[in-house]
Structure 1
Amino acid sequence: MKKLLLSSIAFVFLLTSCGSKTKGELTGVQGKKWYPEKPYGMELIPRGSFIMGKSEEDQAKLLNAPTKTVTVRSFYMDDTEITNSEYRQFVEWVKDSIVRTKLAILADELGIGPEEGGIGDYAFKDADTTRASVYDKYMLDNYSGMGETGYEGRALSKDEELVWNTSDYPDEYYTEIMDSIYLSEEESYNGQRTIDVKKLKFKYNWMDIEAAARASTKGNKSRKEFIRTEEVEIYPDTTVWIRDFSYSYNEPMHNDYFWHDAYSEYPVVGITWQQAKAFCNWRTKYKNDDNKSRGKQFVNQFRLPTEAEWEYAARGGIEGGTYPWGGPYVISDTGCFMANFKPQRGDYAADAALYTVEAKSYEPNDFNMYNMAGNVSEWTNSSYDPSAYDYVSTMNPNGGDQSNTRKVIRGGSWKDVAYFLQVSTRDYEYADSARSYIGFRTVQDYMGEEDSTQ
């Protein structure tokens, strides 16, 4: 019997060897053809070196940006700040997911499946065992009950549209779930009930690669020790329009700025650094979920730019420029202001804008980046240290100290004087702070040109 088994193995090995397409040559693993896509709404910033820091006069005498020649790799960057409309897509996705999860859990607890209709239409995908894949059944059998809630890993059903009109709710169980995500009657006024935005939380995991790499030489540690879990309330703080300015009437901006269609193309504000990071994680997941459904490879993560990447993109390839447009002046040769800021003491509207303007306003720089000066200041991934330029690397520099809660913001805003619009000016805000003048844009690492001949 043993001889027969060995003969069978030898015969199979012979067959696989004879059928080899490589003819025994070293050809590498034959993976899928990969054709990179230019991310929607982004521009390619080509790799290069530049003099980072204040080559012009340091009027504020901060001495926190001495000149230093550095090199950055190629990356894609949003050509505008993230808009209210784009951030609302994130909020709507989170709201949709939370409602579907609540519906699926209640349906599971009640033992109601799709065949019974009503809330059963929103049961977990694996509830319909006739349509569940082998993988779904395996996960249900082996991992059900694990995790914080016991429902982690179970796929939501998105075949049925959510019903928001109260007169069309399918049953009492559906009504119970929908009622739970709104503010109570006591907190409502004028007959309008609104979503309790504090319940809109996005939970995600990320791998602290830097900590893992530095710990790799200090003994064997489990991978899970470097997996971080974040849960973030993602709705913008609209009260910033009032809290940022004492003795000032800004209630209309508080009431309308984020949700009204009139402001859809304006930059989102009231976003903390943590919320901006959560948005980046969601955007990566959103794109990769779609790629997975179409059998395509995953894309690189979207993330906040490093301070060096931001300054390099803002300069637009102009080595010694004071502003993104290159020149030392904020007024063009036709007498027009080049950005949205506070040109004169108390006169916010001298540049034809009182608050923010649409994200795609004024002329872009030579990298086709809009509003790299003014409109809103922008979060970067880098932590703020006045002496950072003295010790950061000259290759892809980044002061990314996790324990430092002061995060670099760049570009100046609608309420700032011209000094803060300079491409080399550094400023900071605390990571948990939200302001009416701070927004963000995202970047993605570059991996190659798209093959237009395919």
Structure 2
Amino acid sequence: MNRNFTRCAFMIVGLGAMLTSCSKHPQSAKTGMKYNDKYNGGFQVFKKTHPAPGPGLVPIEGGTFVLGGSADQDVSFDYNNIRRRVTVPSFYMDDTEVANVDWLEYLHWLNINYPGDRELYYNALPDTLVWRKPLSYNEPYVDNYLRHPAFQDYPVVGVTWDQAQEYCTWRTDRMNENILRESGQLATWKDAATGGKGGKGKAAGATTAAAGGSKEPFNTDIYLNGQIKGPGIDGKHMMPDLNPNAKPTDGKKGKPTRTVGMEDGILKQAYRLPSEAEWEYAALGLVGNTENENITDGKMYPWNGMGLRSPKKRTRGLMMANFKRGDGDNMGVGGYLNDKADITAPVRSFVPNDFGLFNMAGNVNEWTADTYRQLSFEDVDDFNPFRGNEYKDKRMADPEKGLLAKDKYGRPIKDPAKAAKKQKWSELTVAQQQAATVNNANATPANGAALPAGIATNPATPTTATVATTPGAPGTPADVIKAGGKPYTADQRGFEDSTSTVLYGVTTLVNDHSKVYKGGSWNDRAMWLNPATRRFMDQDDASAEVGFRCAMTMVGATEIHPDSRPHFVERKPKPYKAKAK
């Protein structure tokens, strides 16, 4: 882990400890009660901070821009990028594409944690056969591109949209687990691997025991629900628990401690694929051409100017990205290779844009989170536009105890949302009881809770449960179709889409599995380097020309560098002192 990132985690934990032990407690502006006081209830509040990004990410300050506005022509005559002004909130984004070495780390983790699950490992493998062409000798790439050290810093390709989503989930859990172990909230990596006795233990990462004594890897959602704790799991520097009802962890002596909560500001947000709007906004990097809310110059590419070559003296004439200049010209003339890449190039090649992002044009196309529709730009909201929502709820294994149901990989089982609003407690508990009593031949979670009819999970892949949500579809649970007497669908990918679903794949290639990718690749012409261009591919397909990078939601203030800009003075509430009459 990045040393500065680790230090940041320690500082946050140290800040929390300082606030809980400080004699001058902060005060509630509404009740006058002191925060962080174990004698009045122990409600803990920590200093408001702007969270640092996770490893590999850079901040992208959001704002308004014209979606599709950088395109000078409809190169594919698809009429699919109608210009529209939208607002993109601030977020974080990987400065590079995910590289082969990053994916090999993922495969290694799967191998040591599930050594007997060959299907799981196989399903995570990229499709190296994407390099094969009927009339091209690409077999060396089939054998070497993913694993040979010579390609370790090249972008991973042959990855489907679904595989990219799984990687994001895995990366989130490993990041947060590392924060907790490095800061002493969980047992250290060494103690977890050796059982805390210095002896020979299981592979690190495979020894986290959840409540109940089962051995399974760390999961952020399960941890936040308080289901990963106990002897051999807890760290030596856990958060103090000021709840007057709390008892020492060992049940005998010592001060009560607790697991980290989202309120502590220690854990990070989940990694995910960027939305199409986020990707396009980040690729343009107009922040470099902005002064006092005025954009001084637009862009057609992630760099300034209309050309594709560097204008600077030292690099004059060199291509600004890795792309195909013309038929049969993938890298230039021998002796003076222009973009110096016959196929892909290392992920830190070329000059980053004004946000500090590498290869936002060329090298490989990149998956986005959006489901493709030709007229999405007209349909989506103008704030944080996105098309692809599939609303899901975590299933409760025991609503009375607040325990989440887990799959065989220790991850929460998620069912399609049954209502557009928070359910009543009676509705929630009845639905959970019905779900627990329905037998399903397709899958059974590791904790013994049966899946509702119509829901199936691939036992070899740690995915969330899926369900048919078309009213009247065979096997669709009645409580999914109707909630409170009103029809509801948890799948909003085709929101207000009038196209009949029975025609998908018959009269068009577009369906709810069609996902947007952008950016152009090593084998694309220059027209695809424009960030406004958009194409789609089925989420189960892969290509030697498509990779991805991750994003992360930014919480809190939207300004990245507030100290350099004018602000109104923030007025804090006056402290309250109770006075007798």
Cα distance 1:34–1:59, how it changes in 2: closer, same or farther (>3 A)? same
What residue is the counterpart of 1:112 in the other structure? none
1:237 and 2:215 aligned:
no
Of residues 32-41 and 70-79 in structure 1, the stretch that sits farther from structure 2 once superposed is: 32-41
1:302 and 2:309 aligned:
no
**Residue 82 of structure 1 aligns to which amino acid in structure 2?**
V
What residue is the counterpart of 2:170 in the other structure? 282
Q: With the length of structure 1 as denominator, give the TM-score of the two structures.
A: 0.63
8 A Cα contact 1:51 1:69, kept in partner:
yes
Cα distance 1:98–1:349, how it changes in 2: closer, same or farther (>3 A)? same
1:311 and 2:280 aligned:
yes
The alignment partner of 1:341 has SS state of coil
What residue is the counterpart of 2:121 in the other structure? 200
What residue is the counterpart of 2:553 in the other structure? 445
8 A Cα contact 1:52 1:70, kept in partner:
yes
1:344 and 2:350 aligned:
no
Deviation at 1:63, TM superposition (A): 1.3
The alignment partner of 2:368 has SS state of strand
Deviation at 1:42, TM superposition (A): 1.4
Normalized per residue, which structure has more helix?
1
Cα deviation per residue 1:47-74 (whole Å; 9 max; x = unaligned)?
Answer: 2111111452223322110110110111
Q: With the length of structure 2 as denominator, give the TM-score of the two structures.
A: 0.50
**Residue 302 of structure 2 aligns to which amino acid in structure 1?**
P
Pairing of 1:155-194 with structure 2 (within 5 A): none
Of residues 433-442 and 318-327 in structure 1, the stretch that sits farther from structure 2 once superposed is: 318-327
Q: 367, 370, 384: which one pairs with 2:355?
A: 367
* In structure 2, distance between residues paired with 1:427 and 1:269: 17
The alignment partner of 2:146 has SS state of coil
* In structure 2, distance between residues paired with 1:21 and 1:385: 51
The alignment partner of 1:378 has SS state of strand
* In structure 2, distance between residues paired with 1:273 and 1:305: 12
Structure 1 unaligned residues grouped into runs of 5+: 1-19, 103-180, 182-195, 202-232
What residue is the counterpart of 1:60 in the other structure? 76
* In structure 2, distance between residues paired with 1:255 and 1:30: 55
* In structure 2, distance between residues paired with 1:77 and 1:288: 17
- Two-structure CA RMSD over aligned residues (Å): 2.3
What residue is the counterpart of 1:188 in the other structure? none
Cα distance 1:33–1:352, how it changes in 2: closer, same or farther (>3 A)? same
Pairing of 1:209-224 with structure 2 (within 5 A): none
1:430 and 2:538 aligned:
yes
8 A Cα contact 1:408 1:429, kept in partner:
yes
Aligned residues: 304
Deviation at 1:93, TM superposition (A): 0.6
8 A Cα contact 2:54 2:268, kept in partner:
no
* In structure 1, distance between residues paired with 2:84 and 2:377: 7
* In structure 1, distance between residues paired with 2:366 and 2:34: 46
1:31 and 2:39 aligned:
no
Cα deviation per residue 1:295-352 (whole Å; 9 max; x = unaligned)?
Answer: 3632111000000000000001156311100322212221111100100112112232
**Residue 292 of structure 1 aligns to which amino acid in structure 2?**
L
1:256 and 2:144 aligned:
yes
* In structure 2, distance between residues paired with 1:378 and 1:57: 21
Deviation at 1:199, TM superposition (A): 4.2
**Residue 325 of structure 2 aligns to which amino acid in structure 1?**
P
* In structure 1, distance between residues paired with 2:284 and 2:46: 38
The alignment partner of 1:284 has SS state of helix
Pairing of 1:366-445 with structure 2 (within 5 A): 366-400=354-388, 401=493, 404-445=512-553
Q: 74, 86, 100: which one pairs with 1:70?
A: 86
Structure 2 unaligned residues grouped into runs of 5+: 1-24, 36-42, 186-259, 261-265, 290-294, 333-338, 389-492, 495-510, 562-581
* In structure 2, distance between residues paired with 1:57 and 1:21: 58
What residue is the counterpart of 1:324 in the other structure? 302
What residue is the counterpart of 2:65 in the other structure? 50
The alignment partner of 1:239 has SS state of helix
The alignment partner of 1:343 has SS state of coil
The alignment partner of 2:128 has SS state of coil
The alignment partner of 1:200 has SS state of helix
**Residue 316 of structure 1 aligns to which amino acid in structure 2?**
G
8 A Cα contact 1:341 1:374, kept in partner:
yes
* In structure 1, distance between residues paired with 2:34 and 2:306: 56
1:41 and 2:65 aligned:
no
What residue is the counterpart of 1:169 in the other structure? none
Deviation at 1:97, TM superposition (A): 0.6
Deviation at 1:37, TM superposition (A): 2.5
Deviation at 1:33, TM superposition (A): 4.8
Cα deviation per residue 1:191-239 (whole Å; 9 max; x = unaligned)?
Answer: xxxxx6x4416xxxxxxxxxxxxxxxxxxxxxxxxxxxxxxx1111111
